[in-house]
Amino acid sequence: MPLLLDKVIGAWLSPLGIALALVLAGFAAVFWHRRRTALALIGFAVAWVWFWSMPAVSSATAQWLTAPYPPQRVETLPVADAIVVLGGGVTPTRAGFPYPNLGGASDRIWHAARLYHAGRAPVIVASAGSVWGEDVWGEPDRQTGAEAMRTVLVAWGVPHSAIIVEQNSRSTRENAVETARLAARRGFERLLLVTSVWHMRRAEAVFRRVGLPVVPAACDHGGAAASPGLVLLLPTAAALGANSRFWREQLGLWAYRLRGWA
């Protein structure tokens, strides 16, 4: 229930969720014959969505999230005891389809394989459980996120024996807690932490909070194509998605700090 509540609150506090709340409030104002109030609320909702849909804004928020973690060649990273890669880049298999599907954050898995092949660590810890226990079709998950990552890692040349599956975690906090337990059992002292650059602030803070001396190995450094000045002010779905991700990460970091997790 706490995880579901976090997801619901996060959805309503996203740019699109706030705009929807404003529109609903506007309809309520119409019902109560507050026409000017209704127009103001709906007008603000449109302006709000437009603002967070502008590439100029998404470029600024992306810069804030990613500045501490510039791209690094794998050879420049230190040798560690293990590479920890967080889930979110692959959809596990389901009935009728035998292969996992790569998603927008799948560079996490590729970067972990890249680090392994560069000799940065002898093992990879794939950390991801099954969030809901079933897929969007209501079918039981045939794989956890960690098992799906292992499937992809093996396909990319990482030996099965070099992959440790941690499949109990369902959130960034649980990734850190479960990895800390695993590290204590296996004597891991230095870990390379692999996740998308926009997620690294929160992930690094949480892992350090549980006492793990991680070295950030951020990936997913996507770059937007250069555009004329005025085009940066036109709303796009991609910019809204990027800004929604920024909100999610900021809200997540603040919530974790309030709970003493980061």
Least confident of 15-24, 32-41, 124-133, 162-171: 124-133
pLDDT value at position 99? 86
Please list the residues that pair with 164 across neighbouring strands: 125
Specify the pLDDT at position 109.
97
At residue 92, the pLDDT reads 84
Task: List the chain domain ranges.
Answer: 2-66+235-258, 74-216
**Mean pLDDT, residues 230-243 taken together:** 89
In this predicted structure, what is the pLDDT of residue 6?
66
CB 74 within 8 A of CB 116: no
Letter string b/e over residues 148-182, b meaning 16 or more CB atoms within 10 A of that residue's CB: bbbbbbeeeebeeeebbbbbbbbbbbbbbbbbbeb
Confirm if 188 and 82 have CB atoms less than 8 A apart. yes
* Span 167-201, pLDDT tens digits: 999 999 999 999 999 999 999 999 999 999 999 99
**Which class would CATH give 74-216?**
alpha beta
The predicted model scores a pTM of 0.89
pLDDT in tens, 55-99: 999 989 988 888 999 999 999 999 999 999 999 889 887 766 788
CB 207 within 8 A of CB 179: yes
| CA contacts within 13 A on the Cβ side of 102 | 11
